[in-house]
Amino acid sequence: MSKKQKWISFAVFAVLICVFLVGSFIVKSPGEEETIQETMRNEVLHETAKISLFGIKDVNPGLISAFCVTGIITAFAVIVRIFVIPRFRYVPGKFQLLLEEAVGTFDRMAKGSSPHLNRFLGAYIFMAGAYIFIGTIFELFGFQAVTTSGMSVALPAPLSDINGAITMGCLSYLIILSGGITSNGLKGVGRTLKDFSLPISMSFRLFGALLSGALVTELVYYYVGLSYVLPVVVGVLFTLIHALIQAYVLTMLTALFYGEVSEKPAPKRKKIKASV
């Protein structure tokens, strides 16, 4: 790019930024009609912002996000399965390497945490990691949906909905329980039930982490004055970082507990009576 082209690009960006800045002051923010307390409460509880699910039931926006994320991932998986995987080579290209690394990371994590039983665990944590990561990044795009009250809301991360977080937490616990039963039968059930607080802690950890991200973003966007420059850090960087961290934490915890409960107990040593 020549020096002249650089200057033209710079000027175009500067004009665009100025136009958007002026436009943001001219156009009235709809958020001003709602107090910050109401916005925060609505983010947590979704009492008023409900979306109709094909006219069957009014659901939280998080559930719609979950379906959207599943749809996106499914479309991606179908395209990859049809067009990319059959063209895989022994010496991988960049995209193949990315896919292999994604699968390989979770596979290695499963094998490392539970060397004796890991086939199902690897597949589960791959799914969980992909769902949490992509689901959290999903909120960055700000896809709009219309609520039952006719308001427009940006679709949040699926797991910032308490029901989504409870599902992931409890499902992970059930997977851990299944590992215990498969490996150790009733003993495995006992071992798993010993950590009875696990589903609650997992659910609320996910919910808290993702909700806090959503709340901070909402708080920043609520005030016009904070809507410049700051969202670049808060909106993008924080979301990316906590998407990675939450995906890693839940998958790692699931793999660790799975490995712990499915581990075969060491055979007891017979006591040898000392002959007098």
Partner 1 sequence: MPLNIDWQQILLHLFNVTLLFAVLYFLLYSPIKKFMQKRSEHYLEMEREAERKLADADAVKKEQEEKQVRFDEEMAGVRSKIEAEARDSAEKTLADAKKEAEKILEANKANAQREKEKILQEASAQISEMAVEAAKKVVMESTSGAYDSFLDSAKGAKTDE
Out of 113, 114, 121, 131, point to the residue binding partner 1 (CB under 8 A): 131
Q: How far is CA 247 from the centre of its chain?
A: 6
Distance of closest approach, residue 67 Cβ to partner 1, in angstroms: 6
User: Does 80 interact with partner 1 (rule: CB under 8 A)?
Assistant: yes
User: Does 255 interact with partner 1 (rule: CB under 8 A)?
Assistant: no
Kind and range of the H or E element at 146? strand 144-146
Of 97, 102, 124, whose CA–CA distance to 113 is shortest?
124
Q: For the chain, where are the alpha helices, taking DSSP H only? A: 3-26, 36-45, 61-79, 94-113, 119-138, 162-184, 186-194, 198-222, 230-231, 239-262
Compute how many other C-beta atoms are within 10 angstroms of the C-beta atom of residue 76: 12
Compute how many other C-beta atoms are within 10 angstroms of the C-beta atom of residue 59: 19
Out of 43, 139, 161, 218, point to the residue binding partner 1 (CB under 8 A): 161
Out of 39, 52, 167, 227, point to the residue binding partner 1 (CB under 8 A): 167
Q: How far is CA 217 from the centre of its chain?
A: 16
User: Does 113 interact with partner 1 (rule: CB under 8 A)?
Assistant: no
Cα–Cα distances in angstroms (integers) from residue 194 to residues 75, 113, 205, in the given order:
40, 19, 19
Please tell me the count of residues contacting partner 1 according to CB under 8 A: 44
Location of structure tokens 């150790």:
184
Residue 164, φ and ψ in degrees, nearest 5: -65, -40
User: Does 139 interact with partner 1 (rule: CB under 8 A)?
Assistant: no
Nearer to partner 1, 10 or 67 (CB): 67
Out of 43, 51, 61, 107, point to the residue binding partner 1 (CB under 8 A): 107
Using the contact rule CB under 8 A, the part of the chain among 2-10, 61-69, 213-221, 251-259 near partner 1 is 61-69
Q: How far is CA 188 from the centre of its chain?
A: 29
Per-residue interface string for the shown chain with partner 1, residues 196-225, x marking contact by CB under 8 A: ------------------------------
User: Does 166 interact with partner 1 (rule: CB under 8 A)?
Assistant: yes
User: Does 78 interact with partner 1 (rule: CB under 8 A)?
Assistant: yes
Distance of closest approach, residue 177 Cβ to partner 1, in angstroms: 15
User: Does 43 interact with partner 1 (rule: CB under 8 A)?
Assistant: no
Q: Are strands 51-53 and 57-59 parallel, antiparallel or unpaired?
A: antiparallel
**Alpha-carbon gap, residue 59 to 57, rounded angstroms:** 6
CA quadruple 88, 93, 99, 104: dihedral sign: positive
Distance of closest approach, residue 168 Cβ to partner 1, in angstroms: 7
Out of 34, 39, 40, 127, point to the residue binding partner 1 (CB under 8 A): 127
User: What angle in degrees, to the nearest 10, is found between the helix axes of 162-184 and 186-194?
Assistant: 140
User: Does 130 interact with partner 1 (rule: CB under 8 A)?
Assistant: yes
Binding site for partner 1 (CB under 8 A): 44-47, 53, 57, 59-60, 63, 66-67, 69-70, 73-74, 77-78, 80-81, 85, 88, 90, 99-100, 103-104, 107, 122-124, 126-127, 130-131, 158, 161-164, 166-168, 170-171
